[in-house]
Amino acid sequence: MTGTRPTGAGAYPRRIGPFEVPAIGLGCMNLSHAYGVPPTTAEAERLLLTALDEGVTHFDTAALYGFGANEELLGRALAGHRDRIVLASKCGMTGVDGQRTIDGRPETIRRTADEALARLRTDVIDIYYLHRLDRKVPVEESIGAMAELVTAGKVRALGLSEVSATTLRRAHAVHPIAALQNEYSLWTRNPEEGTLAATRELGIALVAFSPLARGVLTDAPPDPGTLPQGDIRRSMPRFDTRHYPANLARRAELALLAKWADVSLARLALAWVMSRGPHVVALPGTRSVAHLRENLSVLDLDVPAEVLAAAGRILDAGTVRGLRYNEATLTEIDTERCGRAG
């Protein structure tokens, strides 16, 4: 199968600004950043090209990922296929002297965009996100600078990541916002506190990253005790010894439901995200070609509504234990909070 997929319940196109994309894209962060030891260059490029052949058209990266290495990876692997893809990247959070830095100043955004264009080997980025709100810079100033990139023909559409409905509305008043990228899954329900409704109302796509709960809702949930140094899950409260056993118990209940419905746990989790609205796009990431194909197969499935509803009751903001980030990181995040700290 090359470039096309059957048209199942989730396969109809979803819109991100001027673009039509399948309901599932590919988040590329874990090919270079944050999840243990990255794959080899050859393995990563193989994954990207296989995704393209399997019908993925929406690829998402950021200046932060690998401190530019992920953009370079996509630039090499996909440069010859630029007209076949919707290419998304992000500014406002980068690596400076080896440290993650949030910087939404207009001059930084302009410089980051030019660097991204060079690394991505393209003249224009289709969707450009403000990766994080810089609390020292009004969002209107950051979005104003990004709007200038649109006027200059360097960017086609704008987005924001990890912001609240209030910030989204402020940004949208400066320049039309095409997409909001927030974490959303069965075990992360923050968008239901405001941004899910706001994006629907404003005609903005909600791009759901980590729809598989950072690997928990797959056939091989991570073992926190074996995670390598540098893996971001090591600092997330949901994975610590106080909370993770209880979360795995809830996962086991969900796995029983998936087995009863004759669908894999990952497929059930993705189908649930896709069911949250016709404006919702799921953005799983993977290093495995087999898992890539499993994820994309959801586009051809019809999971009964009652099964999806039951999944949403088993795992939700009230049943998951632990916040999604530690307190230091939460101070950098503008999204609405929800969930149990303990």
Angle between helices 244-260 and 265-274 (to 10 degrees): 90
Q: Is 325 a catalytic residue?
A: no
CA distance 110 to 249: 47
Query: At residue 111, does pLDDT exceed 50?
Result: yes
Q: Is 224 exposed, middle or buried (0-12, 13-18, 19+ CB in 10 A)?
A: middle
Residue the block writes with tokens 């500014």 = 91
- Per-residue confidence at 4, pLDDT binned at 50, 70, 90? very low
Which domains, and CATH codes, for the chain? 14-214+272-301 (3.20.20.100)
- Looking at the whole model, is its pTM more than 0.85? yes
Residue of 35, 65, 244, 325 with catalytic role:
65
| Contacts (Cβ under 8 Å, ≥6 apart) of 323 | 237, 238, 330, 337, 339, 340, 341
What is residue 1's predicted lDDT score, i.e. its pLDDT? Answer: 26
Report, as an integer, the average pLDDT of 15-24.
97
Mean pLDDT, the chain, integer: 94
pLDDT tens-digit series, residues 285-298? 999 999 999 999 99
- Per-residue confidence at 130, pLDDT binned at 50, 70, 90? very high
Query: At residue 17, does pLDDT exceed 80?
Result: yes
Query: At residue 203, does pLDDT exceed 50?
Result: yes
pLDDT tens-digit series, residues 146-178? 999 999 999 999 999 999 999 999 999 999 999
CA distance 271 to 227: 28
